[in-house]
Structure 1
Amino acid sequence: MSGRCTRQLEAHKHVSSPHYAAFYVATAPFRRKYLLSPPYTMGLKTVEFSSEVIKLWERQYHLPQEVDGDFRTHKDKVHLYRPPRSDRPGIIVACTVLGCWAALFIHALWFIKLPWTSENPSSWLHIAAVFFSLEFLYTGLFITTHDAMHGTIALRNRRLNDFLGQLAISLYAWFDYSMLHRKHWEHHNHTGIPLADPDFHRGNPNLLLWFGQFMVSYMTVPQFLKIAAWSNVLLLLGAPIANQLVFMTAAPLLSAFRLFYYGTYVPHHPPKGHVGPMPWQVSRSSSASDLLSFLTCYHFDMHWEHHRWPYAPWWQLPICRQLLRQAVAGDAATGGGGSGGGRGAAGLEPAGAEPVRVAAAAAVVAAR
């Protein structure tokens, strides 16, 4: 059946435009049903295919809140980015992170000899290299879960998407995936609003106080029971408790601070003297190179782009940033509208006259 329909689609690629338009309308239900297979979109524009995918995403998740006329949202630029045409890349990226973490985790727990537990310890260089590499991969586990909460691992297969996200967060620290999912979308729907945004500070934006409140809000008793059970299983399998404390406790805690600092504190920290909400429109984004951004926190520091295009996987956020840069640079060069800031101070300025908008656009381009 599928092969016959594919041949029919191929045959219609060469018919006249009116006949092809009629065929396109008639086969709309078929194409929606088989969104998983790019061959069924023969002769269709990428934009048309991606629009269907975005509609599928919108039925399950939420677009960011915005007010018409607020130039800081770049609402007129939202069409520039389109999600991947297939789930395959997202699944491969997620499984690669999981696989690399698992391999290094096994090495760290069973093959590293710590100086205070062995007469023939591993070198400090070896220990440090494994520790920081594993910490980076722990960060990757959380980023994988974060992508799953946005449906961007497997946008067209919600069950597989959520399974990979739940697996990643369980290996990270046995957090409750359902609770994380709910609170994360509260953050997106009420970004920067005290008490409504669970990730925002409670009145004091001090780094350590904010981090402590952030961590406590996600911890649960069942989580600690699961960690204890998991630790005992590993102990029975021969993983020393000292290795568990270093590589299964200290490493993910450092990873949690990295994630909080680059994904919450820096993007959403209010500037000096600012009182009140910090909506997503003013969240800061990194101006670092793509490589440095990846090494920093898997592009989690490209935060404005993440809020603007919540259906973009982490590994495509540099594409989002580049598209915005080009578009805003074009606006600034021509003196056109639709400019504004996805970064800090520029974004906090009220929408005003055209010169202000063009100046803000130029500032964004320079900062990014």
Structure 2
Amino acid sequence: MRERNQVSKLPLSARRQAATGLVLALAIVAAWACLHAYAMFVFELRWASLPLALAMALLQCWLSVGLFIVSHDAMHGSLVPRGGRVNDMIGGLLLFIYAGFSWRRMRDAHFAHHRVPGSPDDPDFSADHPSHFWPWYGQFLKRYFGWQSVVFVFTVVLTYWLAFGVPIEKIVLLYGMPAIASSMQLFYFGTFRPHRHGEDRFADRHNARSDNFGTAASLATCFHFGYHHEHHLAPNVPWWHLPAARRQASRDEQVTA
């Protein structure tokens, strides 16, 4: 009750941010849950339905990315400004649903990433492979997919398979593959592309760059997380407002040029 009162006393702009963020979060979570339930317990996987199954897997992958991005906003307090435990509860639940992740461990690691981005002390950065996707991704998996995530995934798979009789091939195609693909999508667009070393130099100490995608492509690739330099400049900006932050940054550059 106290957090609800705190939110209600926020300035109107902050209340709107909280309302918008929560509505979008609810839409993403509801879509993910409905599609997941349909895929596991209603949909019949046959050769004739394979194209639909692949489309569902792609959509589930994208929605899984959305779960993580919402939890990421909760880490920064941009989901519900000054929401306190509200952000902790929502972010922790979504990280657990995503892959059995620990909220505290992921949040602490992400804050460490923001303190020293692109440095050897950055837990998300590979100083040994700063330009190579697969070794860096392998290091990323080893760091974050620990025993807790393994136990969580195996528990879900065994429960669906043994307790509910869901065919294992359907679990693999419509649960396992979207989960793995979403981790690759998040890593590629949210970590590797923004922070990899290349011929171009980084603009500042954040060691981050932004994609030049349009709004629709940015949403499709990683819920605008590819506008990564803007995120590092203002971590309190929620994911859905990053395109506006990107446009403002472009206008500022034109004025100062």
After TM superposition, the score normalised by the length of structure 1 is 0.64
Counterpart position of 1:103: 34
Counterpart position of 2:134: 208
Give structure 1 regions of 4+ aligned residues with deviation exceeding 6 angstroms: none
Q: Which has the higher contact order (CA 8 A, sep 6+)?
A: 2
Q: Of 15, 23, 38, which aligns to 1:92?
A: 23
**How far 1:222 sits from its partner (Å)?**
2.3
Structure 1: how far apart are the matches of 2:176 and 2:97? 12
For 1:130-279, what aligned pairs fall within 5 Å after superposition? 130-194=56-120, 196-205=121-130, 206-235=132-161, 236-272=163-199
Counterpart position of 1:307: 232
Structure 2: how far apart are the matches of 1:273 and 1:102? 41
**How far 1:285 sits from its partner (Å)?**
0.5
| Superposed CA offset, 1:299-337 (max 9, x none) | 0100000000100110000111111112221222xxxxx
Aligned CA RMSD, in angstroms, stands at 2.4
**How far 1:228 sits from its partner (Å)?**
2.0
**How far 1:187 sits from its partner (Å)?**
0.3
Query: Quick one: structure 1 residues 159 and 99, their matched pair in 2 at CA, closer, same or farther if it must change by over 3 Å?
Result: same
Query: Quick one: structure 1 residues 85 and 200, their matched pair in 2 at CA, closer, same or farther if it must change by over 3 Å?
Result: same
Gaps of 5+ in 1: 1-32, 42-48, 51-82, 116-120, 333-368
Question: Identity of paired residues, percent?
Answer: 31
Structure 1: how far apart are the matches of 2:67 and 2:200? 36
Counterpart position of 1:318: 243
**Counterpart amino acid of 2:8?**
S
| Superposed CA offset, 1:108-133 (max 9, x none) | 11233334xxxxx5522211111101
Considering only CA atoms, is the larger Rg found in Structure 1 or Structure 2?
1
**Secondary structure at 2:206 match in 1:** helix
Structure 1: how far apart are the matches of 2:15 and 2:230? 16
Q: How many residues align?
A: 252
**Counterpart amino acid of 1:91?**
L
**Counterpart amino acid of 1:227?**
V
**Secondary structure at 1:36 match in 2:** helix
**How far 1:273 sits from its partner (Å)?**
9.3
Gaps of 5+ in 2: none
**How far 1:152 sits from its partner (Å)?**
1.4
After TM superposition, the score normalised by the length of structure 2 is 0.89
**Secondary structure at 1:281 match in 2:** coil
Deviates more, 1:226-235 or 1:254-263: 226-235
For 1:41-52, what aligned pairs fall within 5 Å after superposition? none
Q: Do 1:280 and 1:304's aligned partners in 2 also have CA atoms closer than 8 Å?
A: no
Q: Do 1:302 and 1:317's aligned partners in 2 also have CA atoms closer than 8 Å?
A: yes
